[in-house]
Amino acid sequence: MFTLDRIVLREIRLTLREPFRISSGVMQERRILLCELHDRDGAQTWSECVVDDEPNYSPETLDTAWPTIVRVLAPRLLGRTVDAPSDVHDLLDKDVRGHNMAKAALEMGCWGLAATQAGLPLSRMIGGTRESIATGISLGIQRDVHALIAKAEESIAAGYQKVKIKIAPGHDVDWVRAVRTAVGEEAHLMADANNAYTLADADRLAQLDDLGLMMIEQPLAWDDLVRHAALQKRLRTPLCLDESITSLDRAQDMVTLNAGRIINIKPGRVGGFAQSIAIHDYCESMGIPVWCGGMLESGIGRAYNVALASLPNFTLPGDLSPSARYWAKDVVAPEWTMDAHGMVKVPLDQPGIGIEVDRAHIDRITVRTEELRA
Ligand code: OSB
Ligand code: MG
């Protein structure tokens, strides 16, 4: 049971070590929205809203999430006694359409807070069983194919258990084939198109079938299922859906329609942990593997992804790279690291989200704050 009496929103700036280009846009200087949740009894935790600056992945941006939290979502929580974090999703979702990332920031914070209060690592509170998470890397679209090959080789040498190659028309079959030739048959490769294709490209996408990919992620429109089902019929390679899966219902629709065979779960995209866990459980019962995607999170958002990915049906490597892959300096200390076998440790030695937040560093890179009270 908890009662939030204060939520502090912060916008920080963190610059990626290199620009991250996907088919729908490019990110470098990230504007990140952090939340600090305070319980009436003194417990406190941090969470992260995974919106970007531009609406090229989802319709939400930092500039939609901030006022939605302030005006619509936070007032539903502040001063209200909530029995369990599993109640928060419905509280925030009722008669509020969309805004999943804004909802998730508060909802996940409530799970983090409840774990702190229960004296349990977040992973264990939600039923996580893994001690470490297999990690893959997501490689943005590179300047040329040689740069891509070099990055893929470097990543495999560093221990990453999966290499995801961002593709778009003009940077697809030939580039992926060149990487496959360079890294060999055994390497776990996949491609992510972030909606860059239509069904008219089915023949081209079918050429990827010969390259031994683990999956092709979200080739078609961000909110589509029906066309993905038509495409899956034409491909041997499993489709994995990302953008299109915004709730448990959409995951069930994917299975009903045969629109994909794997789901990339990002808790922000589905409105938080309750929906993520429900999708995980449903997929487990249907024999659909899941993995945890990333949104270039700071070390705070990463803590939630790592805890989520410790659930048993997260059987494929997640996009959970260590801090140094993204940032010169992360907002948590110690930073997230990965061992030589591509494993990231689940923090199990302290209650809550399991990381120390570097508040002095956060203060230096904060550009605005807003305090919300019951
Ligand atoms: O499609 O998975 C995606 C980053 C921003 C927006 C969309 C995506 C991504 C990634 C990055 O692939 C994964 C990561 O955080 O390392
Ligand atoms: Mg994706």
Angle between the 100-118 and 299-308 helix axes, to the nearest 10 degrees? 70
Band of the pLDDT at 296, cuts 50, 70, 90?
A: very high
What average pLDDT is seen over the chain?
Answer: 98
pLDDT > 70: what percent of the chain?
100
| pLDDT tens profile 191-224 | 999 999 999 999 999 999 999 999 999 999 999 9
Residue type present at position 59: P
- Cα(326)–Cα(183) distance, rounded to whole angstroms? 23
Query: Per residue in 45-54, pLDDT tens?
Result: 999 999 999 9
Q: How far does the centroid of ligand 2 lie from the alpha carbon of residue 137, in Å?
A: 12
**For residue range 101-155, what is the model confidence (pLDDT) as tens digits?**
999 999 999 999 999 999 999 999 999 999 999 999 999 999 999 999 999 999 9
Average pLDDT over residues 339-356: 97
Cα distance between residue 78 and residue 3, in whole Å: 7
- In the chain, pLDDT over 90 holds for what percent of residues? 100
**Shortest-distance atom of ligand 1 to CA 321:** 16
- 266 catalytically annotated: yes
Active site residue 329: no
Distance in angstroms (rounded) separating the CA atoms of residues 323 and 26: 19
Q: At 186, phi and psi to the nearest 5?
A: -80, -25
- For position 168, what pLDDT does the model report? 98
Give me the catalytic one of 166, 233, 329, 345. 166
Distances (CA, A) of 310 to 59, 249, 347, 361: 29, 23, 10, 29
How confident is residue 317, by pLDDT bands cut at 50, 70 and 90? very high
237 lines ligand 1 (CB under 6 A): no
How far lies 165's CA from each of 38, 122, 140, 148, 217, in Å? 40, 31, 7, 8, 10
